[in-house]
Amino acid sequence: PEWDVTNVAVGYSNTIGKKKLIHYNSGYTRYFYTDGWDIFVNSIDLGIGVRNKKRSLGFKTAVNYLFGKDNSLQWISKIYSNVDLFRDKNYSFSFRPQLTFIAAEQAIELRQQIRDSDLFQTTFQDYFGLLNTQLKLPLQLATNALDLEIAYTVNAPNSIPQESSLDTTGFVSFSLGYLLDF
């Protein structure tokens, strides 16, 4: 494996109502690819979700507008859980599984050879549909301002029309976050 992308994100989130069961967020992300890829390097995100009183189970849906040299729309829905394995006043250790469904807009490039010639005709067809189902199994250590997470993620991609079957993949990720209170 090689390092392929780094991202920097800034956002705002808050809750609605006295019970704080409904939450919303917005944000901007900038992606830096090691290979210089620049088709989608920016993302503007809007999301809303609902959770139970104990904040142990929830659902969130979000729309992302990706842009750079091209643009695309992505819709993500997620069911998540938060199981505290250990908690005290200074830190918590928890298991936070997530099941995510990702639908997005894609342009499919189709190449057909022109009959009785060496020339090809290229056409593009827009497609919007379920592209990936993802299961993430993270462990998180959190203090008042610092979050450290390690996770294993399984991706089960869906083939789009005219595409061969895609393999299920998995990877390990590491995340470090620091929360600023304004």
Q: Could you tell me if 97 and 138 are in contact, meaning their C-beta atoms sit under 8 angstroms apart?
A: yes
Helix (H, G, I), strand (E, B) or coil at 55: coil
Summarised one tens digit per residue, pLDDT across range 131-164 is 999 999 999 999 988 999 999 999 999 887 777 7
Please report the pLDDT score of residue 1 as a whole number.
64
- Residue 182 — pLDDT band, cuts 50, 70, 90? confident
Is the per-residue pLDDT at 173 higher than 90? Answer: yes
What is the tens place of the pLDDT at every residue in 22-58?
999 999 999 999 888 888 899 999 999 999 998 899 9
Quote the tokens at residue 5: 């992308």
Answer yes or no: is pLDDT of 77 > 90: yes
β-bridge mates for residue 48, sequence order? 24, 61
The pLDDT confidence band at residue 119, using thresholds 50, 70 and 90, is: confident
User: For the CA atoms of the chain, what is the radius of gyration?
Assistant: 20
Whether the Cβ atoms of residue 72 and residue 60 lie closer than 8 Å to each other: no
